[in-house]
Amino acid sequence: MSPTPNSLAARLRQVRLTRRADVTPRKAATWDLVKVALLSPMITVIVIAVIIGIIRLLAGDGLSGLGSAVAAGWLAVNQVPVTIGGITLGILPLLPTLLAAAGTAKVVAEGASTARELPDLIGIVGAALGGSMLVTTLSLAVIADGSAVTPIGQPDSLQAFGYTLLVQGAAVLVGVAIPSLKPILAEFAVPATERVGARGGLIAFGLLAAGGAVAVFVGLVTHWGAMKAMIADGNTVDGYLGLTVLSVLYLPNMIVGATAISTGASAQLGTTILDAFDVARGEVPPLPVVAALPETSIGSLGALFFLVPLIAGAFLGWYCRSDDPVRHLRAIGIGAAVAAALMVTVAWVSGGRLGELGHSGVNVPTTGVFTFAWLALGGALVVAVLRLADGGLTGRRRAADEIGDDLDDWFDVPASTSDDAPDAGDASDDVVPDVAERKAADDDAALSDDTSTPGPDATDAPGFGADPPTETNPGKH
């Protein structure tokens, strides 16, 4: 006798199926795509409008031309060169760009976490990019409409779409990678050497940026009087506020420049050219944060700058440590390449034309080459030290056994202790199934069992395990 629709077995089975359906990623609905497309751009535009409106009211200019100013602000956030009063400003603050990109990445990551098939993920990516491109299109139209009454010039349309696609595309890529990177790495069986190397490169880049931030902070403290004098040139409260806000917004640009100088590259700001040892002082923009620049060369003390990439390289070498020196060096090379690529990207984005002062920024190719060389050098020194210390390979194997810090152990799942488990010596060569994949397979099998056609098994009978009632007289009811 099969269970009736109102039987305990049928109701409990339905409860289990409902719960699993609730936790299973579903295809993004229309509202989800709209949120991914417009949430981050709309918040960015609203914040820009509020900030510009407050500044205009404090300056007594009113709100006339606010639409064109907000549209130009959106383009500036996406690093699109803006022309004001016939002067093109190509070097734009990085802080708003980083904040807007972080918002886009967060929204996309939330949407991508609900996608279970490639078409769903493509729809989310398309919605995120389409929303940003739509706002850029509207911004170009607003600027063109108000160009007759505002000093804001019409940007190049192709350039505007290109920069927007570049900035927002990078943010979307990060957002997609947050929930999808591990499954992708597992799907393509990316070795642990590459994984650890890439992660070490990200951390090394963070250490380089931290060193640049410390250098800028020391420069500001050293020239505190000059910075206060520049702020005082604002004359009024709104002038002080404007100069301070602009300095904060351009602070990441200064950090990027200091980081590039620490690798040995040269930087230019206005007509001032400097590196770790020499300064050719010239005209600079009147921003308080520029006071961090040295007035004269610091001589041999400039060699202290090179400690930053050397320490970052040493950390990279320690982070990627392995029993096998070839794999160790390969991981260091991958990490150095990742950090160099990130350094080239931020160096290129942080530079540009500074009105009549010409191009400002750092030497991008030199920065990339020097970053890779310093990190590789620091990592190679760590490899040599680890090979020589503690008896070379024997001591390194013993240390790895004691603290479990071998390269593959950071990502590989320990083998089973059953009789058919692979030998411990071959663990680095065997592909150990990921725990999440095994759990997903078990869930799918359980779900398949639950949704199969009910049969005369024990789970279909009342009580989930009790023997089904035996009808001694089938002809009697």
Residues 386 and 396 sit within 8 Å (Cβ to Cβ):
yes
208 falls within a domain: yes
Outline where 147-236 has alpha helix (H).
Answer: 157-187, 192-222, 224-232
- CB-count burial class (<10 Å; 0-12, 13-18, 19+) for 339: buried
Assess whether 244 and 181 both reside in one domain.
no
The answer to whether residues 228 and 107 belong to one domain is no
Q: Which residues pair with 82 in a beta bridge?
A: 89
Examine the domain organization and report whether 244 and 124 are in the same domain.
no
Instruction: Give yes or no: residues 143 and 270 share one domain.
Output: no
pTM score of the predicted model = 0.73
110/60 same-domain check: yes
Domain end among 132, 157, 189: 189
Helices and strands in the chain: count of H runs, count of E runs: 15, 7
* Whether the Cβ atoms of residue 210 and residue 300 lie closer than 8 Å to each other: no
Residues 376, 228 share a domain:
yes
Of all residues in the chain, the percent with pLDDT exceeding 70 is: 75
Residue 150: inside a domain: yes
**Which run of H or of E encompasses 393?**
helix 393-403
- The amino acid at residue 435 is V
- In a domain, residue 82? The reply is yes
Low-confidence ranges of the chain (pLDDT < 70): 1-13, 15-29, 237-238, 390-477
The Cα 73–Cα 51 span in angstroms is 10
For position 442, what pLDDT does the model report? 52
Residue 78 is assigned to a structural domain of this protein: yes
Domain extent for 228: 201-390
CA–CA separation, 195 and 422 (whole Å):
23
Domain-terminating residue out of 323, 356, 390: 390
Does 225 lie in the same domain as 89? Answer: no
Tell me if 152 sits within 8 A of 143, measured CB to CB: yes
CB-based contact 158:374 (threshold 8 Å)? no
**Residue 274 token pair:** 């400097």
Residue 419 lies in a domain: no
Q: Residue 172 has which token pair?
A: 């979307």
pLDDT of residue 9: 66
Return the HEC string of 401-447: HHHCCCCHHHCCCCCCCCCCCCCHHHCCCCCCCCHHHHHHHHHHHHH
What spatial distance separates the first Cα and last Cα of the chain, rounded to whole Å?
A: 13
The strand pair at 267-269 and 272-274 is best described as antiparallel
Domain termination residue (choose one: 161, 189, 217): 189
Residue 343 falls in which region: left (phi positive, over 0), alpha (psi -120 to 50) or beta: alpha
Clarify whether residues 87 and 213 are in a common domain.
no
**What's the rounded Cα separation, in Å, for the pair 266 and 268?**
7
Say yes or no: 47 and 141 in one domain.
yes
How many separate domains does the chain show? 2
Q: Within this chain, do residues 350 and 265 fall inside the same structural domain, yes or no?
A: yes
Three-point CA angle 228, 230, 232, nearest 5°: 70
Residue 354: DSSP 8-state = B
Asked if residue 442 belongs to a domain, the reply is no
**Residue whose C-alpha is closest to residue 172's, from 272, 111, 104:** 104
For the purposes of burial, counting CB atoms within 10 Å of the CB of 340, is it exposed (0-12), middle (13-18) or buried (19 or more)? buried
For 274-324, where are the alpha helices, taking DSSP H only? 307-319
| Same domain, yes or no: 281 and 380 | yes
Query: Rounded distance, CA 71 to CA 143, Å?
Result: 7
- Does residue 179 lie within any of the structural domains? yes
**Is the distance from CB of 112 to CB of 180 less than 8 angstroms?**
yes
69 shares a domain with 163 = yes
Q: Six-digit token pair at 107?
A: 């929204």
Q: Encode pLDDT of 66-117 as tens digits.
A: 888 999 999 999 999 988 877 888 888 999 999 999 999 999 998 888 877 7
Tokens linked to 233 = 């040139």
Would 473 be classed as within a structural domain?
no
CA distance to 78, 169, 327, 377, per residue, from 70 (Å): 13, 22, 51, 47
